[in-house]
Amino acid sequence: MIQRFDIDGNPNLGVSILAKDNVAIVSPGLQDSYTKSIEETLKVPIIKTPICGSNLAGALMAGNSNGLIVSPHIFSHELDIIREHDINVEIMPDKLTAIGNIVVANDNGAIVHPDLSKESRRIIRKTLEVEVTEATIAGFDIVGSAIAATNRGALVHPDATDEELELVEDALGVTTKIGTVNRGVKLVGACIIANSNGVIVGNKTTGPELARIDQVFNLFEE
């Protein structure tokens, strides 16, 4: 249920790939071996498409089982590919376009960058069907990079305060703990692909880091 790999030497998996309980979105050029590992570990169908003409689906999208939200720079044919798979996806009309960096969500709630517009927050509430909480974590407003969350748990930047951990736990409704990946990298959301079925991290992730990840995401709990 926990897999380790880098994509062509790049351990920042959460930037390249978006994964939720019902879908994973990856670059069309992703090698078959990686695609197979994602399917087997996360147990979801995979959609292959660029997002905004790039291979940065994780950085440019966020969401949960109810829907996805995406940068306004997405191309119409990319939207069509996603919607053909019966996935609800809506555009965020905001000056902040790296949606995956500034929004973290699960099926219980969403935490967003404090400067996100009221209209974008409204779209998140409607599309993801959750309440929206504005926050910074460990001094970072890029909450999507500072938190990795599923419906089982949330791993948070290790410099987060006790009050911030409590906020994350209340907003997302899951057990929340601090941790790192890739031998001490603190921006865990940028480095992890995870859903309720499994987790994928970079090759440098250590044994103690994997133990914390297993503990946080309750991968063997039914």
Q: Do the domain assignments include residue 48?
A: yes
- Give me 112's structure tokens: 């967003």
In this predicted model, what pLDDT tens digit does every residue of 30-75 receive, in sequence order? Answer: 999 999 999 999 999 999 999 999 999 999 999 999 999 999 999 9
Q: What is the pLDDT of residue 90?
A: 98
Q: Do the domain assignments include residue 166?
A: yes
For the cut 80, the answer to whether the pLDDT of residue 158 exceeds it is yes
The count of structural domains within the chain is 1
Check which CATH number belongs to the domain holding 114 and give it: 3.75.10.10
Residue 84's region, left for phi above 0, alpha for psi from -120 to 50, else beta, is alpha
Per DSSP, helices labelled H in 147-206 are 162-172
**Cα–Cα distance between 20 and 213 in angstroms, integer?**
17
**Cα–Cα distance between 107 and 123 in angstroms, integer?**
15
Q: What is the pLDDT of residue 178?
A: 98
For the cut 80, the answer to whether the pLDDT of residue 221 exceeds it is no
**Cα–Cα distance between 189 and 53 in angstroms, integer?**
22
For the cut 90, the answer to whether the pLDDT of residue 218 exceeds it is no
Name the residue range of residue 45's domain. Answer: 2-217
Q: Do the domain assignments include residue 222?
A: no
**Strand, helix or coil at 146?**
helix
Confidence label for 220 from pLDDT (cuts 50, 70 and 90): low
Global confidence as pTM: 0.96
The fraction of the chain above a pLDDT of 70, given in percent, is 99
Q: What is the pLDDT of residue 1?
A: 86
